[in-house]
Amino acid sequence: MGLKVDFREKRSGVLDEIARLDNQLYCELCHLDTGDYWIGDKIIIERKTLTDFLESIKTGRIFQQAYRIAQTEMNGLIILEGDKSMVESSGMSRKAVQGALIHLNVFIGVPVLRSKDIHETASILIGLHSQCQRLELPRKMKVISGIKGLRLCKKQRQKLFLIQNIPGIGIKKGLALLRNFSTLENILKASQENLVKVDGIGNKLADRICTIFHEPF
């Protein structure tokens, strides 16, 4: 079981550090649809520098990436690389960063590990690979984080992921829409009057859904 590495990570310097620290670890460069590193078919790792992480909070991209990881059959994590000076110079509030970390760790269920530089990132990847070989990784539960006991099949999770791309719709509102209308097509065709009948969907959100689905490009 080697380490699959996305082509875009070639210039990061992490691969060179891995080779320096453990020249026995086989690394395969390839195109990965999700994440930057795969350890076998067990773990997906997304590597973010702090600068990139802060920018992706503003755009919402980090949450989309985390949801994609959560929808897979593999366990996932994010390695957050850099020191706190990057946060201080960004102008982003500590509260906003903490809020993002809470959402990733607790509500999406993708843990975040801190790394100070590429050397430490390489060490983390080597350590993860070593433990995967020695220990049996707990089976990933098909549970949507934040709602205790909820288990969905792959198709249900894919539908929930798609509906959550609408701003203002989280797990609970997405589930409420799908339970009320059964299919994505029915949600797409629903009128604002019928949308507001769904628990948690107010006039403003119903209007946003209709605008996204019904207005021309």
What is this structure's pTM?
Answer: 0.65
Q: Where are the domains of the chain?
A: 3-134, 154-214
- pLDDT per residue as tens, the chain (217 positions): 789 999 999 999 999 999 999 989 999 999 999 999 999 888 999 999 999 999 898 888 898 899 888 878 888 999 999 987 766 677 778 888 888 898 888 778 899 999 999 999 999 999 999 998 877 666 554 444 445 445 667 677 778 877 877 888 888 888 899 999 988 889 988 999 999 999 999 999 999 888 888 777 6
CATH 3.40.50.10130 fits 3-134, yes or no: yes
DSSP string, the chain: --EEEEGGGGGGSHHHHHHHH-TTS-EEEE--SSSSEEETTTEEEEEEEHHHHHHHHHHTHHHHHHHHHHHSSSEEEEEEES-THHHHHHT--HHHHHHHHHIIIIII---EEEESSHHHHHHHHHHHHHHHHHSPPPPPP-B-TTSTT-B--HHHHHHHHHHTTSTT--HHHHHHHHHHHSSHHHHHH--HHHHTTSTT--HHHHHHHHHHHHS--
Q: What is the CATH number of domain 154-214?
A: 1.10.150.20
- Confidence (pLDDT) at 137: 64
